[in-house]
Amino acid sequence: MSDYITKKTSALLSKHRRTILLLMDIFVVAVAYSLTWVLISGRADMAAYFSLLVSSCFLFVSCFAIVYATTGMYDSLWRYAEIVEIFRCCMSSVVATGIFVVMTLILFKERRIPLSVYGLSAMFATTFTLYIRLVYRMYRNIKINKMGKKRRRVLVVGAGDAASTLLHEINKNPTKEMNVICAVDDDKNKVGRNLLGVHVMGTTDDIPNLVQQCQIETILIAIPTLDSQNKKRILDICASTNCNIRMLPDIVKIIKDDEDILSRITDVKVEDLLGREPIVLAQEAFEFLNNKTIMVTGGGGSIGSELCRQIANFKPKKLIIVDIYENSAYSIQQELKRKYGKKLNLDVRIASVRDTKKIDDLFDELRPEVIFHAAAHKHVPLMEDAPEEAVKNNVFGTYNCALCAEKYNAEKFVLISTDKAVNPTNVMGATKRICEMIIQNIAENTEGTTTFAAVRFGNVLGSNGSVIPLFKEQLAEGGPLTVTDKNVIRYFMTIPEAVSLVLEAGAISKKSGEIFVLDMGEPVKIVTLAENLIKMSGLIPYKDIDIVFTGLRPGEKLYEELLMDEEGLRKTDNNKIFIGAPLKMDASRFFTDLLELKATAYENDREKLMAKIETMVPTFNHMVIDDHY
């Protein structure tokens, strides 16, 4: 409640700051003028001068208020006040006093104001108005220092211009990151002095001792012009501590140096490239994850790892990560351990979803209640060259996991699908369409308790192997950025958006075999995405960085679709999520075709395999692009 009152009071003061400062100036200028008369005349003569005092005081205050307002004294933010602002205040006081003198000589001819009143009243008025502003600034600094107790303790290396600029910025814009405790500098003339309230406590050789003495957490090197030899020496000293080490960049070098492009793009946020506001889905629906044993296949990938992060927030009974690639599985395992420690019951298993016996053993042992199936080969051009691998991993990995989910009575099985499954033109999309058909047929032809669902969405910004990391690498190398065709358009999502959709689909899926589709707004041209990334990096498209059109790749089409015409759409409670109706299929024929597809895939006969895929997916229109395109 007290925080709320403080915030409301602060907002009110901010809104009416000009009026408040004007009223304070009127008050202190009036006091300064009256005090001058008291000091000069004494109490005995005050009665004789009272009428002159009142009338001239009104004129004095008016002169100061008008001049201060005219010269912009009420437009300055005094918590950032520097020498220029103090000089402006003094000059405004001189002008106001001059106007007052002229006005009194004209208006008060019969009774003259003592000459000493002019000088003393001007001095007092100037001093008092300055004191108000400086006291406010001191109050702000004290407040910032109190905030600093909760922030990371920082030692600054360097006490020159760069450090001074840094400290100015920290004082003006306090963050949760930095609380500067002390500084060091190899110029011994600076040791023992203060830089904007920060004590220079020694040289760089003293860093290890000061880190222990002052409980430093972060060392910030604020000497941008440091030569290579001294930089290595200082970094070696800093590395001997357990502190986080950061370096202040040379702003002038960043502006001038066109080679250091990578540093200019590392902070570009992928959601800024969407051309729309990120979609935020309701978190309440995800409570179905609480106290459940949850398995994520492909848990080390871009989508899988984000699924694990978000699921961990909802206190599952156990989170099981299954992945064949041990490096990515290890990475997400360590990340979750650092964040949750023993609060999260985490089990990581290295296994391939292709391995029928291994997957069955895992389900039998762990008995997952909710499965998110993200394991898949997803790169379109690579799968064009290896269709048998796409079938083995995508189709039969899904088949193995879905059968085990039904066999061991899992509550829900959610398949990660793609918009490329709609009227597919490439092998990857066709295999994903078969995956959707698998869960629909299992759902319709078994009497198990498992609810099956698929989630279909577009390209994911920033995922492994997606266009944004490729563009960033090309940008770091100085370009050009490569786009297949100037007319290629795609639906895009951020990784958190995609994962939120998957979780929400899992929450609201009731009828087995449903396919969930997200309304992702208007599709985005890939060339527009490339141009925006270049602009956000402070460069000019086609001038600083070129964009080259390389031609459509095998299996790639100009635009993607999210729904087949015959599927139709049904609304859900969330206006961003729709459900495509399951298609009617001949189950016995489908499962016969599936067995034949598996045998063909393991024969590695590509021509025969492609023919079988086309038979199973009637909407598959395989596009083969010539190399010379």
pLDDT confidence of residue 47: 59
Residue 139 sits in the same domain as residue 156: no
Separation of alpha carbons 188 and 9, rounded Å:
46
Query: What is the sign, positive or negative, of the torsion defined by CA atoms of 236, 238, 244, 247?
Result: negative
Residue 135 sits in the same domain as residue 187: no
Is-contact 521 494, C-beta < 8 A?
no
Residue 78 sits in the same domain as residue 126: yes
Is-contact 555 432, C-beta < 8 A?
no
pLDDT band for position 141 (cuts 50, 70, 90): low
Most confident among 40-54, 381-395, 581-595 (mean pLDDT): 381-395
Query: Tell me, what CATH number does 213's domain have?
Result: 3.40.50.720
399 in a domain, yes or no? yes
466 in a domain, yes or no? no
Could you give the residue numbers annotated as active site? 420
Residue 169 sits in the same domain as residue 206: yes
Residue 153 sits in the same domain as residue 135: no
Is 482 a residue whose pLDDT tops 80?
yes
Averaged pLDDT for residues 33-47: 67
pLDDT in tens, 519-531: 666 667 778 777 7
Residue type, 629: Y
pLDDT confidence of residue 600: 92
Tally of domains in the chain? 3
212 in a domain, yes or no? yes
180 in a domain, yes or no? yes
Q: How far apart are the first and last CA of the chain?
A: 67
Residue 307 sits in the same domain as residue 220: no
Residue 218 sits in the same domain as residue 363: no
3-state DSSP of 485-510: CCCCEECEEEHHHHHHHHHHHHHHCC
Nearest partner of 374 among 319, 318, 414, judged by Cα: 414
543 in a domain, yes or no? no
- Parent domain of 66: 14-145
Is-contact 473 538, C-beta < 8 A?
no
The H helix count followed by the E strand count for the chain is: 21, 21
Cα 585–Cα 587–Cα 593 angle in degrees, nearest 5 = 100
Domain end marker among 145, 162, 177: 145
User: Which residues, 6+ apart, have CB-to-CB distance to 107 below 8 Å?
Assistant: 59
542 in a domain, yes or no? no
Residue 322 sits in the same domain as residue 434: yes
Separation of alpha carbons 378 and 296, rounded Å:
17
Separation of alpha carbons 443 and 351, rounded Å:
25
Is-contact 615 586, C-beta < 8 A?
no
Residue 447 sits in the same domain as residue 323: yes
276 in a domain, yes or no? no
Residue 329 sits in the same domain as residue 441: yes
pLDDT in tens, 506-551: 787 777 778 887 766 666 777 877 777 776 565 667 777 888 887 7
Domain end marker among 145, 163, 189: 145
More confident residue, 261 or 363: 363
Residue 92 sits in the same domain as residue 113: yes
Domain end marker among 145, 177, 196: 145
600 in a domain, yes or no? yes
Residue 156 sits in the same domain as residue 124: no
Ranges 4-18, 32-46, 200-214, 575-589: which has the least confidence: 4-18
Which of the 8 DSSP states describes residue 272?
G
User: Which residues, 6+ apart, have CB-to-CB distance to 368 below 8 Å?
Assistant: 293, 294, 295, 320, 405, 408, 410
Mean pLDDT (the chain, rounded): 76
